[in-house]
Amino acid sequence: MAETHKPARDFTLRLRRYDPESGEAPYWDEHTISLQPHRSVLEAILQARARFDGSIGIRCSCKAAICGSCGVRINGQPGLACHTHLDAAMLTSADGVIEVEPMGNMPVIKDLIVDMDAVHWKKVQRVVPWLLPEGDPPEREYIVPPESMIDITQSMACIHCGACVSACLSMEVDPEFIGPAALAKAYRFVGDPRDAHHEDRLLDLAEDPHGIYDCTHCFACVEVCPKDVAPMNQIMRLRRRATNDYEIKDANAGYGHEKAFVGLIEKYGTLHESQLLPRSYGEGSLIKSQVKPSSLAKLAAGAGTVVNGLKSGKVNPIKAVVHHKLPDQKQVRRIFKEIESKDDRLELNLYIVGEEAEDEDQGAMAEGGRES
């Protein structure tokens, strides 16, 4: 039977209710509504509000995954209420009830409505979300190569729903972290050839202790984004531009950490953990970390972590020093050589990656990108 012909059935919603102005503690509220299974969680909330309690707070507008206003957590997972079918929500329910609560990492205004201005939009403002061209504007329009625009389409697809902000583990630990949505927005301008301040932008985001190196690479933002923006990937691309294109040696040792990581894998085939920290502070080099006063100071500051690791048994001193190489690490080096022998890697966005594409192939890719 087609989804749209399935009969209506009962679904129970458990809604998190909270009005900070009331002075009362948050509480859970349950309502059973009747809808076809392919209808959305948003429709269910609106039905509960219309039939049982007009004071339920929920923000929405388009009901079509376009405006980004109905972000909530459904059974703990951030997403769009209008883009989540009731039958799909039932699959992740722990007890047969669909639990809906406001998004995380942002203060609650009322019930399911969070203060996007206080966190999300403030962070977007932080990355200077407009073009900074230089010189007089052209008489007509700026001419931009199609592949440059394909490159940034993924970050431009963001509808600012805040789901990634809600899911971000780094932001939970460090509320000052600029965060996935705002950094994806930053890539939108770093990837745009009309902007004349790529290096300044990257330097700013690399030097900020809450910037691009504050992301722990956990993939949570990639999993929850309803528009496939893959914010983490945009952050990794900002890092690659900062380290490879501009050689920005930042105070957060992000540059050194990347060089150390890649260098160790090339040499050993596996990660030599005890060398990772000193090499990271030595811009990828073990020698530099032993002679540079700034590296020595950073290493001394990190000594407490090492001592704690030894005490708790998480760090095994013998394994840390006598590191085993991958039995056939020559294969790893071969892969490195092969990659390094290629011309520049062409990476337009998550979906379009290639190497040494011929002109006509690039043209075809550009066409494909425009169609998608």
Which residue, 65 or 350, has its beta carbon nearer to ligand FES?
A: 65
Length of the chain: 372
The amino acid occupying position 313 is G
List Cβ neighbours of 348 (8 Å cut-off, separation of 6 or more): 147, 150, 151, 365, 369
9 backbone dihedrals φ, ψ, rounded to 5° = -145, 170
Contact between 162 and ligand FES (CB under 6 A)? no
CA atoms of 193 and 108, how far apart (whole Å)? 39
Binding partner at 252 among ligand FES, ligand SF4, none, C-beta below 5 to 8 Å by kind:
none
Q: Which is nearer to ligand FES, 62 or 173 (CB)?
A: 62
Q: Which CB, 231 or 369, lies closer to ligand SF4?
A: 231
Q: Are 80 and 65 in contact (CB under 8 A)?
A: yes
Q: Which does 65 bind (CB under 5 to 8 A by kind): ligand SF4, ligand FES, none?
A: ligand FES
Residue 70's binding partner among ligand FES, ligand SF4, none (Cβ under 5 to 8 angstroms by kind) is: ligand FES
Nearer to ligand SF4 (CB atom), residue 215 or residue 264: 215
Closer to ligand SF4 at the Cβ: 227 or 272? Answer: 227
Counting contacts by CB under 6 A, is residue 68 touching ligand FES? yes
Q: How far apart are CA 362 and CA 360, in angstroms?
A: 5
To ligand FES, the closest distance from the beta carbon of 67 in angstroms equals 3
- Output the smallest distance, CB 347 to ligand FES, in A: 29
Q: How far apart are CA 242 and CA 250, in angstroms?
A: 9
Among 38, 57, 67, 90, binds ligand FES (CB under 6 A): 67
Task: Please tell me whether residue 291 binds ligand FES under the rule CB under 6 A.
Answer: no
296 binds, among ligand SF4, ligand FES, none (CB under 5 to 8 A by kind): none
Of residues 33, 45, 70, 260, which one binds ligand FES by CB under 6 A? Answer: 70
Rounded (5°) CA angle 68-52-105: 35
Q: Rounded to an integer, what distance in angstroms lies between the CA atom of residue 88 and that of residue 26? A: 27
74 binds ligand FES (CB under 6 A): no
Which residues make up the interface to ligand SF4 (CB under 6 A)? Answer: 158-164, 167-170, 180-181, 184, 215-221, 224-227, 229, 231-232, 235
Helix/strand/coil for 223: helix
Q: How many other C-beta atoms lie within 10 A of the C-beta of residue 303?
A: 10
Find how far residue 273's CA is from the centre of its chain: 26
In the complex with ligand SF4, which residue's Cβ is closer, 11 or 189? 189
Tokens 């202790």 correspond to: 209
Strands annotated E in the chain: 9-17, 27-35, 71-74, 77-80, 98-101, 108-110, 113-114, 345-349, 352-355
The entry of ligand SF4, ligand FES, none near residue 80 (CB within 5 to 8 angstroms by kind) is ligand FES
CB of 80 to ligand FES, least distance (A): 5
- Rounded Cα gap, residues 267 and 286, in angstroms: 13
Least CB distance to ligand FES at residue 60 (A): 4
CA angle 33, 34, 39 (to 5 degrees): 100
CA–CA distance, 252 with 8 (Å, rounded to integer): 56
Contact string (CB under 6 A) for ligand FES, positions 37-66, x = contact: -----------------------xxxx-xx
β-strand 9-17 against 98-101: which pairing, if any? parallel
Q: Residue 183 CB, nearest distance to ligand SF4 (Å)?
A: 7
> Among ligand FES, ligand SF4, none, what does residue 197 contact (CB within 5–8 Å per kind)?
none
* Integer Cα distance of 372 and 368 in angstroms: 6
Nearer to ligand FES, 84 or 285 (CB): 84
Nearest distance, CB of residue 240 and ligand SF4, angstroms? 15
Which residues would be at the binding site for ligand FES (CB under 6 A)? 60-63, 65-70, 80, 82
